[in-house]
Every structure is written in structure tokens, then in C-alpha cells.
Amino acid sequence: MSTIRVLLIGDVVGSTGRTIFQKHINRFKKEYNIDSVIVNGENSANGGRGITPRVVTFFKHNGVDVITSGNHIWDKREIYSYLNDNNDLIRPANYPTGAPGVGYTFYECKNHTVAVINLQGRTFMRDDLDCPFRTVESLLTYIKTKAKIIIVDFHAEATSEKMGLAYFLDGQISMFVGTHTHILTADERILPNGTGYITDLGMVGSLNSMLGMKKGPIIQRFMTQMPTRFAVETEGPALMTGVWVEIDTDTGKAVDIGSVRLVDNKFKSDETSD
Ligand SMILES: [Fe+2]
Ligand SMILES: [Fe+2]
């Protein structure tokens, strides 16, 4: 049986997240025998909002094949033209026609074509996007003619919406990952019809933070309901989480899966400049 192993890493937050990612990605790749890396980069620019072309180059230099995103993809204007001109960074497919970029892409891994689709949820988030179920259903009719190995990043808040879409796609795609909550879930498994699944990949950032951001202003906002300024947490320990999946290249089905969670207690804030 011929297989490929793909590592999927959750939202990389700011310069802190990028520093942690660069420090550990090569060891991860060796340790888990990884052929290909996909990362969610919606928070990877300085300040934890959006992504810039320079950050895309940083990820490519560090062996990333495709960068997915989510609701924060629009935070940096300089990425709009990059999204239109390149196919290594994708945005949720269920934004209306006319939004920059596309919601799916293809790349080659060990002579096999891999398709990656990005979608955004509507439950407890903005609810005016197109239906993610129907969007992916119609995309798949085309994508299945091009690739047997298909990976979906569903950027969504509610576990129910993630699980619902995953069951809807079970057997039609190789791997389904959730992102957006920045919390790694302990439920990775292979669904009955052969699709690998995890509710959320978690993140790369400061461990003692909230979504990679300093907790003080967020607690203040919960308590006062006043707007506060969020900033990326730079203090260690560092956290890097995600999941690897092994996919049968003949059937496109997942055959093995495991989550990864690294806590770097030696990480010091002077390693990053965010
Ligand atoms: Fe995020
Ligand atoms: Fe998000």
C-alpha cells in the first residue's frame, strides 16, 4: 500500500507563533515521518491579525505546501492581490463571488495530486456566508475529477457544525480538520467511511494566553463589555498543536491518524519580537 503522511498545524499566532513554528517544524517532520505540511495562517502576521505576502514566504521557506485561513484573512489589505495571483494561500470557499482569491487549491506530493479546500462556519459566527455544506458539495464534483486525496479545513466555532459537515463528507474526502477555536481537541479518529477527523487543530503560540493573545485585556472585555486592545502574548512556555494523517494514495482514505501537542518550557519571550 502506498501512503502519504500530511501534518496539519493550527492557527499560527503572530511573530511568537512563527518563531515557535520555525523552531520545531523540522523535528516534527522527522519524528512523524511527514511528507507534506498544511498550516492555518489567518493569524500569522505581526499582531495576530491576518497574513502578509512576507509571512507566506516565511512558511514556504519552512516547508509548508499550503496555507489555509479563515475569518481573519481580510485583516491585511496587502494580501488581497496575493490571494488573486497565487495558489498556495486559500481563503474560505463560501465567501461570495468577487471576494479576492479562491477557496481550494491543488499541489503535488510524492507524485500524487492533493486538493485542499477551506470553508468557514456560520454558527456563532457571521451567518451571511454561503452554506458551507452546499458549497463543498458543488466544489467536490469538480475537485474529485482532479484529485483522489482531498483535505478540508473547516474554520468554524461550533463543534456541532464541524461534526455535521464531517459526517456529511465522510467517505468523500481524505481528511477533515476544524480550526478557529485555537484549542486542540482530543477526538481525532477515522470516521466510518474512511475520512480522518479532528474537531480542532489548536494553535501555535504562547501556552498561557487566550488564543495566543494576552489574557488581561480579554478578561477585562468579558467583565466590562468595553472594547479593549488585544496584543499577542510573547511569554513562554510555547505551544504547538495539530494532527498528522496517513492517507492511502489508491483509495484516498485515511488509514492512521494522531494528534501532536508540544509544550516548549524553554521558550523565552526574547526569541520573538511581536
Ligand atoms: Fe485563528
Ligand atoms: Fe478564526
- 72 classed as catalytic: yes
Q: What band does 151 get if pLDDT is binned at 50, 70 and 90?
A: very high
Per-residue pLDDT tens digits for 63-75: 999 999 999 999 9
Residue 269's pLDDT band, with cuts at 50, 70 and 90, is confident
Q: What is the mean pLDDT of the chain?
A: 97
Q: How far, in Å, from the CA of 204 to the mean position of ligand 1?
A: 10
Instruction: Between 274 and 108, name the one with better pLDDT.
Output: 108
Mean pLDDT of 116-125: 98
Distances from the Cα of 146 to the Cα of 10, 114, 141, 205, angstroms: 26, 9, 10, 35
99 φ, ψ (degrees, to nearest 5): -70, 145
Is beta strand 104-109 parallel, antiparallel or unpaired with respect to 112-120? antiparallel
Out of 24, 61, 72, 182, the active site residue is 72
Would you say residue 92 has pLDDT above 70?
yes
Model confidence at 167: pLDDT above 90: yes
pTM score: 0.97
pLDDT in tens, 80-91: 999 999 999 999
Predicted pLDDT of residue 273: 64
Q: What is the pLDDT of residue 268?
A: 84
pLDDT in tens, 210-228: 999 999 999 999 999 999 9
Query: 266 C-alpha to center of ligand 2: Å?
Result: 28
Nearest ligand to the CA of 71 is 2
The alpha carbon of 25 and the centre of ligand 2 are apart by a number of angstroms equal to: 22
Q: Is 72 helix (H, G, I), strand (E, B) or coil?
A: helix
Domain residue spans of the chain: 3-207+233-269
Q: How far is 261 from 243, CA to CA, in rounded Å?
A: 9
Average pLDDT (164-181) is 98
Predicted confidence (pLDDT) per residue in 20-60, tens digit: 999 999 999 999 999 999 999 999 999 999 999 999 999 99
Gap from CA of 265 to ligand 1 centroid (Å): 23
Please give the full DSSP string across 76-117, using - where no structure is assigned: -TTHHHHHHH-SSB---TTSPBTBSS-SEEEEEETTEEEEEE
With cut-offs at 50, 70 and 90, classify the pLDDT of residue 194.
very high
* C-alpha of residue 12 to centroid of ligand 2, in Å: 11
Residue 272 has pLDDT above 80, yes or no: no
Which stretches of the chain are DSSP H helices? 14-31, 53-61, 79-85, 132-143, 159-169, 215-224
Please state, in angstroms and rounded to a whole number, the distance separating the CA atoms of residues 63 and 39: 10
Ligand 1: centre distance to CA 249 (Å): 30
Q: Is 252 left (phi over 0), alpha (psi -120 to 50) or beta?
A: left
Ligand nearest to the CA of 183: 1
Closest-lying ligand to the alpha carbon of 11? 1
Determine the pLDDT at residue 270: 73
For residues 118 and 90, the answer to whether their CB atoms sit within 8 Å is: yes
- CATH fold of 3-207+233-269: Purple Acid Phosphatase; chain A, domain 2 (3.60.21)
Give Rg (Cα) of the chain. 17
User: What is the number of the ligand closest to the CA of 70?
Assistant: 2
CA 241 – ligand 2 centroid, Å? 16
